[in-house]
Amino acid sequence: MDSTVMLGHGSGGTMMKRIIDDVFFAAYAGDELLRGDDAAVLPAPAPGERLAFSTDSFVVTPHFFPGGDIGRLAVCGTVNDVATSGATPRYLSVGFVLEEGFPIDDLRRICNSMAECAREAGVALVTGDTKVVNRGHGDGVFINTSGVGTLAPDVEMGGARCRPGDKVLVTGTLGDHGITIMSCRESLSFSADLESDAAPLNHLIANVLAAAPHTRCFRDPTRGGLASTLNELAAQSDTDITVEEDAVPVKPAVLGACEMLGYDPLQVANEGKMVCVVAPDEADAALAAMRANRYGADAAIIGEVAAAQPERGPKVFLRTAFGGTRILDMLVGEQLPRIC
DSSP H/E element including 64: strand 64-65
**Does the pLDDT of residue 102 top 80, yes or no?**
yes
- Residues 245, 251, 257: CA angle, nearest 5 degrees: 95
Q: How confident is the model at residue 168 (pLDDT cuts 50, 70, 90)?
A: very high
Answer with the residue of higher pLDDT: 215 or 330: 215
pLDDT tens digit string along 68-78?
Answer: 999 999 999 99
Q: Angle between the 202-211 and 283-291 helix axes, to the nearest 10 degrees?
A: 150
Q: Residue 170: pLDDT above 90?
A: yes
Reported confidence tier of residue 17, pLDDT bands at 50, 70, 90? confident
| Distance separating alpha carbons of residues 4 and 109, to the nearest angstrom | 13
Q: What CATH class has 159-327? A: alpha beta
* 8-state DSSP, 103: B
Question: Is 337 a residue whose pLDDT tops 60?
Answer: yes
**Mean pLDDT for the chain?**
93
Residues 254-304 have pLDDT tens digits of: 999 898 888 999 999 999 999 999 999 999 999 999 999 999 999 999 999
Banded pLDDT at 187 (limits 50, 70, 90): confident
- pTM score of the predicted model: 0.94
Q: What is the pLDDT of residues 109-125, one digit of tens each?
A: 999 999 999 999 999 99
Strand order in the sheet with 275-278: 217-219, 275-278, 167-170, 300-307, 239-244, 316-319, 325-327
Does residue 87 have a pLDDT over 60? yes
Cα 51 off chain centre by: 19
CATH class (in words) of the domain with range 4-151: alpha beta
Sequence ranges of the domains in the chain: 4-151, 159-327
Distance separating the N- and C-terminal Cα atoms of the chain: 30
- Amino acid letter at 243? V
Taking a C-beta distance cutoff of 8 angstroms, is the pair 209, 85 a contact?
no
The 10s digit of each residue's pLDDT in 200-238 is 999 999 999 999 999 999 999 998 899 999 999 999 999
- Name the pLDDT band for 248 (thresholds 50, 70, 90): very high
Give the confidence band of 333 by pLDDT, cuts at 50, 70, 90: low
Banded pLDDT at 190 (limits 50, 70, 90): low
Query: Helix or strand or coil: residue 302?
Result: strand
265 touches 327 (CB < 8 A): no
Do residues 194 and 253 lie in contact, with contact meaning Cβ atoms separated by under 8 Å? Answer: yes
Report, as an integer, the average pLDDT of 29-33. 88
Mean pLDDT of 156-171: 96
H or E, element range at 236 = helix 225-237
Statement: residue 193 has pLDDT above 80: no
Bridge-based pairing of strands 316-319 and 239-244 is parallel
- Let me know if the fold of 4-151 is the same as that of 159-327: no
